[in-house]
A = this chain, B = another copy of it.
């Protein structure tokens, strides 16, 4: 399988896109930011700030946690990354997808993938009908099992 390689290419392309976005917004092209962006884009799915710090330090050893947060905030404000909220209050991040979609997270391996399509319309309509609220935005996360974990772990419980 060349999947890793594919991801690598994909990640590089994505990193380029994010860096271009930063440049387009008139922001400096610094080592720290490159490190964070690359750390973010080498992962096929989402990353926590701590993971980004660790991976980023492989590229730029001086990298500080605070810079990871600031860079992520900046990228998010530019719409270049998407923040995923965890129930425990922490966040993780992934490069923003091109089209509006949603995530599925594997409850065993924590892998998160994007899928396209958004059928929230009917839900919004019924919300409107029942409550009088007009819906402006929504946030949805699905949880389940990815194919690998389903195959591998049907018998076992989920890993913590």
Q: Which residues of A contact B (CB under 8 A)?
A: 83, 85, 87-91, 102, 104, 106-107, 113, 115-120, 122-124, 126-127, 130-147, 150, 158
Residues in chain B near residue A132, CB distance under 8 A: 146-147
Residues in chain B near residue A91, CB distance under 8 A: 89
Inter-chain CA distance A83–B137, complex, in Å, is 20
Residues in chain B near residue A136, CB distance under 8 A: 107, 143-145, 158
A85-B87, A123-B102 known; A134 vs B139 contact (CB < 8 Å): no
Q: Are B139 and A104 in contact (CB under 8 A)?
A: no
Inter-chain CA distance A133–B158, complex, in Å, is 14
Q: Are B142 and A141 in contact (CB under 8 A)?
A: no
A85-B85, A89-B90, A136-B107 known; A131 vs B143 contact (CB < 8 Å): no
**A138 contact from B106, B116, B140, Cβ within 8 A:** B140
Q: Are B123 and A142 in contact (CB under 8 A)?
A: yes
- Of the A-B pairs whose beta carbons lie under 8 Å apart in the complex, a sample of 26, sorted by A's number, is A83-B87, A85-B87, A89-B91, A102-B123, A104-B133, A113-B133, A115-B126, A116-B130, A117-B123, A118-B123, A120-B142, A123-B140, A132-B147, A133-B142, A133-B146, A134-B144, A134-B145, A135-B142, A135-B143, A135-B144, A137-B142, A137-B143, A138-B141, A138-B142, A138-B143, A139-B141
Inter-chain CA distance A91–B123, complex, in Å, is 24
Contacts beyond the supplied A89-B90, A137-B142: 9 A-B pairs with Cβ under 8 Å: A107-B136, A113-B131, A118-B123, A120-B142, A124-B142, A133-B145, A134-B150, A139-B141, A139-B143
